[in-house]
Structures are given as structure tokens and as C-alpha cells.
Amino acid sequence: MRTIDVSEITKAVKGLCIDANYTLSPDMKDAICKAEQNEESELGRKIFSQLQENLKIAKEENIPICQDTGMAVFFVNIGQDVHLEGGDATDAINEGVRQGYIDGYLRKSVVKDPLIRENTGDNTPAVIHYNIVPGENVEITIAPKGFGSENMSKIYMLKPADGINGVKDAIVAAVKEAGPNACPPMVVGVGIGGTFEKCAIMAKEALTRKVGEYSDIQYVKEMEEEVLDRINKTGIGPGGLGGSITALAVNINTYPTHIAGLPVAVNICCHVNRHRSVVV
């Protein structure tokens, strides 16, 4: 049994909030760089070049990549041989968000009540998904989520008879409907199976997978490649201004489901697909 003081979690979360908002992970940077070389439209290539310039400026000047610094979403894997002491773990994560968003000068985008809509002033509370895993570490992944793309995400409760083609069509339909509103080039996270809420969480977690890494299930990998190809043939293009690269990746996660259902969630992310992990 390992004991971890929750103040270490607060410190780690503060750093994650700032890092994830100031710099994209290497997989995303590489994907944007490659896309500039492969984009067929001249205007599209110019947009990819501007996106890279924006990343450079954000890094050099320690400013956020985008003004929408997102709602702070976390996936936290807690080792079952860890004893957390010094306070409540959820409070510790929210304290890290508070410090990170205030000290990092990140936009505060969270309202306390979804209808009364008063800003909480410190970007809390975060949305936190906990998993219990073997081991004596705590792995924290942050994925700050902008809502231009979040608002274009979809859940489909398909019928089993809709099959694999129905799933592929649903993903492409969600992307087409999102169009320029999702700030393309997009990364498309997909969850297939489970229940209504499980597929949505899987779709969100799929966005934290590195761009360029595929599912290790062969037929799912083939689906990721085929659907990406279909999305790129829509011609939406970078910035929604036309082109051959609308998405940088389609990442699909699957889970067993009920005999009577085929839930599919499509969580769309923009080109600012932020994700960072740390092990405490």
C-alpha cells in the first residue's frame, strides 16, 4: 500500500491544465504538420500553416492555443493499492483546476447552473471519470474540451440490424452536420457499445488516444481508416473552407452491449485536441 497526499494531485493537475492549454501533444503537432503537406487545397495548406504558426506563438509566449480553454475533463486511474490522505480527492482535483486556470490566465468557461448561468469564476467544477486499476499509482489524464466541437457531438441508439454500415454512416453524418462549426480539422472520438452513458464516455476517452495509433482490434482499425477516408472526401476541409483534410483521425473504442441495442456516440473535437497525462 502506497500513501499519496492529495496535495500532490492538486500540484499535478495545476501543471496539466497549463501545459495542455499552452502546447499540443507531439502526435497532434505532427498530424497538423503532415496535413499541411498532404492537403490538396491551397487555401487549406495556408490554414494548416497558420495553425502551426499559432502553436509556435502560444508556446513561445506562454499563452493558450485557443481562447476557449475548455471545460476540464479528467480520466483518473487510481491504483487499488493507493491510500489517498490529506483530504478529498475530487476537491484536490478541483483545487488544481482553480489554480491552473487562474495562475495560467486561462479563460473561465464554466457556469454553476446550466440554466441560471452564473460563471463560477475559476473553471470549476471539472468533469472527472474515475477508474480503479491494479497498482499503486494514480494516473491523471486531462482533456480540456472546447464547446464549439462539443456542441456538435451526437449519440445514436441504433438497432442491431443497422450493423457496421449503420455505424459508419452515423459517424459520417455527425461530421457532415458539424461542418465548419466544429473548427476542423477534427479528431473524431467514437464509442460503440455499452449503454447510453458508457458509449459517450468511451467516445470522450477515444479523443485522448494518440493521433496515428489505431485500435488493436483488426476490424475496428479498418473501420477507423475507412471512416476517416469517407470524412476527408466530404470536402469540408480545414476551417470548413474546403479541402481534402477534414479530420486528422477517427479513434474508435468498443465495449460489450445488450442484445437489443447498438449505442454509438460521436464526440467531435477540433484541431485543438488537448490531452496530457501524468503519473503521481
Position 40, amino acid: E
Told to check if 270 binds ligand SF4 by CB under 6 A, we report yes
Minimum distance of ligand SF4 from residue 28's CB (angstroms): 12
Told to check if 143 binds ligand SF4 by CB under 6 A, we report no
Residue 5 makes CB contacts below 8 A (sequence gap 6+) with: 84, 85, 86
Minimum distance of ligand SF4 from residue 146's CB (angstroms): 2
Please identify, using beta-carbon distances, which residue of 194 and 239 lies nearer to ligand SF4.
239
Q: Which stretch binds ligand SF4 (CB under 6 A): 109-117, 141-149, 156-164, 215-223?
A: 141-149
- Cell representation of residue 52: 502551426
Helix (H, G, I), strand (E, B) or coil at 79: strand
Closest chain position to ligand SF4 (CB): 146
Q: Which stretch binds ligand SF4 (CB under 6 A): 8-16, 124-132, 145-153, 251-259?
A: 145-153
Helix (H, G, I), strand (E, B) or coil at 73: strand
Minimum distance of ligand SF4 from residue 147's CB (angstroms): 6
Please, what is the Cα angle at 136 between 135 and 141, to 5 degrees?
Answer: 85
Inter-residue contact 185 to 248 (CB < 8 Å): yes
Told to check if 149 binds ligand SF4 by CB under 6 A, we report yes
* Number of residues forming the site for ligand SF4 (CB under 6 A): 8
Please tell me the distance from the alpha carbon of residue 61 to that of residue 211, in angstroms, as a whole number: 26
Minimum distance of ligand SF4 from residue 66's CB (angstroms): 3
Q: Which stretch binds ligand SF4 (CB under 6 A): 53-61, 114-122, 143-151, 207-215?
A: 143-151
Told to check if 68 binds ligand SF4 by CB under 6 A, we report yes
Told to check if 146 binds ligand SF4 by CB under 6 A, we report yes
Told to check if 272 binds ligand SF4 by CB under 6 A, we report yes
Told to check if 204 binds ligand SF4 by CB under 6 A, we report no
Strands 73-79 and 127-133: parallel
Report which of 199, 181, 197, 178 is spatially closest to residue 189, judged by C-alpha positions: 199
CB atoms within 10 A of CB 258: 11
Residue choice 140, 183, 228, 252 for contact with ligand SF4 (CB under 6 A): 183
Told to check if 170 binds ligand SF4 by CB under 6 A, we report no
Residue 64 makes CB contacts below 8 A (sequence gap 6+) with: 21, 22, 58, 104, 105, 106, 107
Minimum distance of ligand SF4 from residue 183's CB (angstroms): 3
Residue 169 makes CB contacts below 8 A (sequence gap 6+) with: none
Please tell me the distance from the alpha carbon of residue 141 to that of residue 279, in angstroms, as a whole number: 9
Q: Which stretch binds ligand SF4 (CB under 6 A): 28-36, 41-49, 51-59, 144-152?
A: 144-152
Told to check if 66 binds ligand SF4 by CB under 6 A, we report yes
Inter-residue contact 246 to 231 (CB < 8 Å): yes
Residue 50 makes CB contacts below 8 A (sequence gap 6+) with: none
- Fill in the per-residue mask, 100 to 139: x = in contact with ligand SF4 (CB under 6 A), - = not in contact: ----------------------------------------
Please tell me the distance from the alpha carbon of residue 240 to that of residue 233, in angstroms, as a whole number: 13
Residues at the interface with ligand SF4 (CB under 6 A): 66, 68, 146, 148-149, 183, 270, 272
